[in-house]
């Protein structure tokens, strides 16, 4: 999986991705990250990439030219005529595990992070972006949202997690249930004991208990997940 992020804050993206599992995945070559600073494609001498909106109203908009030039540069680096592009916007389809699995099928993802009040619509139309939101709230820019998407997609790339079962066992697995509670040593902590069944060594009973706990937990915390879709 090759991520290319178009952003005004390339350092934020690089720093966040150079941590933990994503860092190791890059070192091992399972994923790669390239950032393109949209400001490098400013069409004036002072490096501005925003301007007032036609029709008036508050706030500035990112201009079509610099965003489109940055996208073409991404395509050039990827040796592709048209690379799959995702625009991070609260107006997009809401990101979930299913969208993550879909995005993980692409070899290259160009992720566009907007700022100010957004991006001139013509650039987005010309590129033909897939529009993605990470939830119904508003962030100041697409960068933090892009990091959530890249982190989530990365752990679906074969090899990244090492242990192949751990991605599918977790919350939002194919069964759509939350994960069961887990425990590690010590056996007793603050007078709280690890459930006996987990110490029994009886694997069928352990599996049954875990499935029951998943159901209880989902019913309590996310009853919406139990509704048929
Ligand atoms: Cl993708 N971008 C911004 N700016 N705000 C958001 C978002 C994205 N998803 C939820 N809120």
**Which one of 3.40.1260.10, 3.40.1280.10, 2.20.25.90, 3.40.50.20 gives the CATH number of domain 2-154?**
3.40.1280.10
Tens of pLDDT, residues 62-83: 999 999 999 999 999 999 999 9
Please report which confidence band the pLDDT of residue 169 belongs to, taking 50, 70 and 90 as the band edges.
low
Q: When comparing pLDDT for 155 and 166, which is higher? A: 155
Tens of pLDDT, residues 100-156: 999 999 999 999 999 879 999 999 999 999 999 999 999 999 999 999 999 999 999
pLDDT reported for residue 85: 99
Mean pLDDT value across the chain: 95
Question: In this model, does residue 186 exceed pLDDT 60?
Answer: yes
Residue 218 CA to ligand 1 center (angstroms) comes to 26
Residue 31 CA to ligand 1 center (angstroms) comes to 24
Q: Which atom of ligand 1 is nearest to the CA of 88?
A: 1
H runs (alpha helix) in 92-202: 97-103, 121-127, 143-154, 166-169
pLDDT reported for residue 116: 77
Tens of pLDDT, residues 17-42: 999 999 999 999 999 999 999 999 99
Stated as kind and residue range, the H or E segment containing 113 is strand 108-113
Share of the chain above pLDDT 90, in %: 90
pTM tops 0.85: yes
Residue 193 CA to ligand 1 center (angstroms) comes to 42
Please report which confidence band the pLDDT of residue 175 belongs to, taking 50, 70 and 90 as the band edges.
confident
Q: Which atom of ligand 1 is nearest to the CA of 141?
A: 4
Q: So where are the chain's domains?
A: 2-154, 169-225
Residue 229 CA to ligand 1 center (angstroms) comes to 25
CB of residue 142 inside a 6 A radius of ligand 1: yes
Residue 155 CA to ligand 1 center (angstroms) comes to 21
Please state the φ and ψ torsions of residue 155, each to the nearest 5 degrees.
-75, -5
Q: Average pLDDT, stretch 214-229?
A: 93
Q: Considering the domain 169-225, what is its CATH architecture?
A: Orthogonal Bundle (1.10)
Mutate to test the pocket of ligand 1, among 145, 149, 153 (most ligand atoms within 8 A of CB): 145
CB of residue 138 inside a 6 A radius of ligand 1: yes
Instruction: Show contacts of 155-160: CB within 8 Å, 24+ apart.
Output: 155/21, 156/100, 156/101, 156/104, 157/1, 157/25, 157/30, 157/31, 157/104, 158/30, 159/25, 159/28, 159/30, 160/21, 160/25, 160/30, 160/31
CB of residue 118 inside a 6 A radius of ligand 1: no
Question: In this model, does residue 167 exceed pLDDT 80?
Answer: no
Q: How many CB atoms lie within 10 A of CB 10?
A: 20
């Amino acid at each position: 999986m090759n991520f290319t992020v178009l952003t005004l804050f390339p350092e934020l993206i690089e720093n966040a991705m150079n941590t933990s599992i994503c860092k190791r995945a890059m070192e091992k070559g399972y994923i790669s990250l390239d950032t393109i600073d949209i400001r490098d494609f400013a069409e004036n001498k002072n490096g501005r990439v925003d301007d007032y909106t036609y029709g008036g109203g508050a706030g500035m908009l990112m201009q079509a030219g610099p965003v489109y030039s940055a996208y073409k540069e991404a395509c050039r680096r990827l040796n592709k005529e048209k690379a799959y592009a995702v625009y991070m916007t609260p107006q997009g389809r809401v990101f979930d595990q299913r969208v993550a699995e879909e995005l993980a099928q692409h070899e290259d993802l160009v992720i566009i992070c907007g700022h100010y009040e957004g991006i001139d619509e013509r650039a987005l139309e010309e590129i033909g972006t897939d529009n993605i939101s990470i939830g119904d709230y508003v962030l100041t820019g697409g960068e933090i949202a892009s990091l959530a998407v890249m982190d989530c997609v990365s752990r679906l790339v074969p090899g990244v997690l090492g242990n192949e079962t751990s991605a599918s066992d977790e919350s939002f697995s194919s069964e759509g249930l939350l994960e069961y509670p887990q425990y590690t040593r010590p056996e007793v902590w603050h007078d709280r004991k690890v459930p006996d069944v987990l110490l029994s060594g009886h694997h069928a009973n352990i599996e049954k208990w875990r499935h029951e706990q998943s159901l209880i937990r989902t019913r309590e915390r996310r009853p919406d997940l139990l509704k048929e879709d």
